[in-house]
Chains A and B, each alone.
Chain A
Amino acid sequence: MKRFFYPFLAGLLLLTFQATLLASLPVHRIRPDVVLILILFLGFSYPTVLGGLIAFSLGFLLDLFSGNALGLYTFTRPLIFFVAQLFRSHFYWKGFSFQFLFVFIFAILEGGLILLLVSGLNPVPFHNLYTSVLADLLFQSIVTGLFTPILFPLFEKGSIFLATQQRVAIKRQG
Chain B
Amino acid sequence: MRIRALSFFRRYHIPTFIIVLLLFGLVLMSLRVKQRQGVAFFDALFMELTSPVQKAATFVIKTIHGVFQHYVFLVHLEKENELLRRRIAEFQEENHQMKEMVMANDRLRKLLQFRENMPASTIAAQVIGQDPTSWFKSVTINKGEGDGVQKGMAVISPEGVVGQILKTSPHYATVLLMTDYNSAIDAIIQRTRAKAIVEGKEENRCQLKYLLRTEEVAVGDIVITSGLGGVFPKGLMVGEIRSVDKKSHGVFQYADLVPGVDLTKLEEVLILSAAPPPPPRLEEKEKKVKKISAGSSKKK
B61 lies within 8 A of A67 (CB) = no
A140 cross-chain contacts in B, Cβ below 8 A: 134
Cβ of A135 < 8 Å from any Cβ of B?
Answer: yes
Cβ of A29 < 8 Å from any Cβ of B?
Answer: yes
Distance in angstroms from B115 CB to nearest chain A CB is 25
Q: How far is the CA of A132 from the CA of B32 in the complex (A)?
A: 24
B57 lies within 8 A of A17 (CB) = yes
Q: Is the interface of A mostly helix, strand, loop or mixed?
A: helix
B29 lies within 8 A of A62 (CB) = no
B43 cross-chain contacts in A, Cβ below 8 A: 64
Cβ of B77 < 8 Å from any Cβ of A?
Answer: no
Measured CB to CB, the nearest residue on chain A to B15 is A48
Instruction: Name the contact of A65 in the complex, choosing from B65, B140, B177 (C-beta under 8 A).
Output: B140
Q: How large is the interface on B (under 10, 10 to 19, 20 to 34, 35 or more residues)?
A: 35 or more
In the complex, per-residue mask of A68-83: 1 if CB is within 8 Å of any chain B CB, else 0:
1111111100110010
Q: How large is the interface on A (under 10, 10 to 19, 20 to 34, 35 or more residues)?
A: 35 or more
Q: How far is the CA of A140 from the CA of B166 in the complex (A)?
A: 25
Residues of B within 8 A of A (CB): 14, 17-18, 21-22, 24-26, 28-29, 31-33, 36-38, 42-43, 46-47, 50, 53-54, 57-58, 61, 65, 129-138, 140, 166-167, 174, 176-177, 180-182, 199-203, 207, 264
Residues of A within 8 A of B (CB): 12-13, 15-21, 23-24, 28-29, 31, 33, 35, 48-49, 52-53, 56, 59-75, 78-79, 82, 111, 114, 117-118, 121, 126, 128-129, 131-133, 135-136, 140
